[in-house]
Amino acid sequence: MLKKINKLIYIVPVRLPTRKAYGQQIVKMCEAFARQGVEVELVLPRREKSGDDIFSFYGIEPVFTVKFLQVPDMIGMFGWLKIVPYYLQIFFILWQLRSIKFNQDDVVLTRSPEVAYFLKRFRNVKVWLSAHSLPSKQKRWWLRRVIKVFDGVICNSQGTSKGYQSLGAKKVLPVPNGVDLSLYDKINLSQDELRKKYNLPLDKYIVTYVGHFYKWKGVGVLLECARLFLKSDKYLFLLVGGSDIDIDYYQKIIDRDRLFNVKLLGYKPPRQIPEILKLSNALVLPNIPLTDESVHFTSPLKMFEYMASQRPIIASDLPSIREVLNDKNCLFFVPGNASDLQDKIIRLSDRPEMAEQLSRQAYQDVQAYSWEKRAQRILDFFL
């Protein structure tokens, strides 16, 4: 057991900055750990093709240090054999880690089981695994053999925690993701002013989705629901995020089906998301149960951002979502059911008092999910 933490070294096998949510999660946790008075060093492979600075990209102050590893970028090589570049990258990361000096009171947090095992086996440092889903079935047999040597596992959800306990992990902390509440509290523009800023109509009931467009995220359900509203000019579906390929794909569907009530805003930097949520009337979390990640393991950043925005939430009724949301702070619909989603949107728009009550309760509940409080729980777990 540690008496104190000299330095927290967070090793991640991913390149930053990135549009994907895990990038924001990583840097916000580093920031939150540093705000708790801990010296933090983020260690990751260098991204050669990006000129963006990590701190400016995510809109945070440089309160922690970043150490880049010289690791060849092989993502996209070897075609469908994606596992090959992954393990080659891990090999190069482990090779570079040989030269890093660790003190007795240092703590290592990593998203890579391979890195965790290497450091425990050959460097004998304190290592915790940061787990955000359960690994593939092919990888679980190896994890069962080595997981007991880790000092502990930090899990993003109860579902993930149960999964790692089933693999033999003895010390597990389930702790959901969080949100930077200050970004929402300091917005002083009205809803109309925000809509003018983003060139959006003042007279529409705007239903917003923010996030990636993976199939299990449910964007297809939103488009199906929008079709059901085509006879009404009251509603506008606003979709924010997605890769360039996703945006092109869905824009073609919108044009083909003449979905005039759907607008794709594309990717927006994290610092703009609070304003976009604030200008909305309702926020949708439409995950569908296509994967175990969707049903059991995910802890969506957007869920906490939605709660902080003080706008009513409509969400798929899934166990992973129910870990945080409930019938007092959210309106649930049957996952994948566009007609039920339509009913819930109409109910919210027709009952502003319900929308206000749900929003107020969600905002009150999200106070327990700041990044700082998450960081403190993890630091207490280390000690």
Quick: pLDDT tens for 106-131.
999 999 999 999 999 998 899 999 99
User: Is residue 242 very low, low, confident or very high in pLDDT (cuts 50, 70, 90)?
Assistant: very high
Tokens of 257: 């089906």
Closest by alpha carbon to 265, among 245, 251, 282, 278?
A: 251
pLDDT at 6: 87
User: Is residue 76 very low, low, confident or very high in pLDDT (cuts 50, 70, 90)?
Assistant: low
Residue 3 has pLDDT above 80, yes or no: no
Buried b (16+ CB within 10 A) or exposed e, 26-36: bbbbbbbbbbe
DSSP 3: S
Neighbouring-strand partners of residue 109: 10, 128
Count of Cβ atoms closer than 10 Å to residue 90 Cβ = 17
> Which residues have CB under 8 Å from 359's CB, separation 6+?
310, 311, 312
The crossing angle, in degrees rounded to 10, of helices 244-256 and 219-228 is: 20
Tell me if domain 7-174 and domain 182-369 are identical in fold. yes
Residue 246 has pLDDT above 90, yes or no: yes
Closest by alpha carbon to 269, among 62, 58, 26, 52?
A: 58
pLDDT at 74: 67
User: Is residue 79 very low, low, confident or very high in pLDDT (cuts 50, 70, 90)?
Assistant: low
Which CATH code is given to the segment(s) 182-369? 3.40.50.2000
pLDDT at 46: 87
Q: Taking the domains of the chain in order of start, what are their residue ranges?
A: 7-174, 182-369
pLDDT at 137: 84
Neighbouring-strand partners of residue 370: 179
Segment 135-173, tens digit of pLDDT:
888 889 999 999 999 999 999 999 999 999 999 998 999
Cα-to-chain-centroid distance, residue 137 = 23
User: Is residue 99 very low, low, confident or very high in pLDDT (cuts 50, 70, 90)?
Assistant: confident
Q: What is the pTM of this model?
A: 0.95
The CATH class for the domain spanning 7-174 reads alpha beta
In contact, 379 and 38? CB cutoff 8 Å: yes
3-state SS assignment for residue 108:
strand
Q: What is the CA radius of gyration of the chain?
A: 21
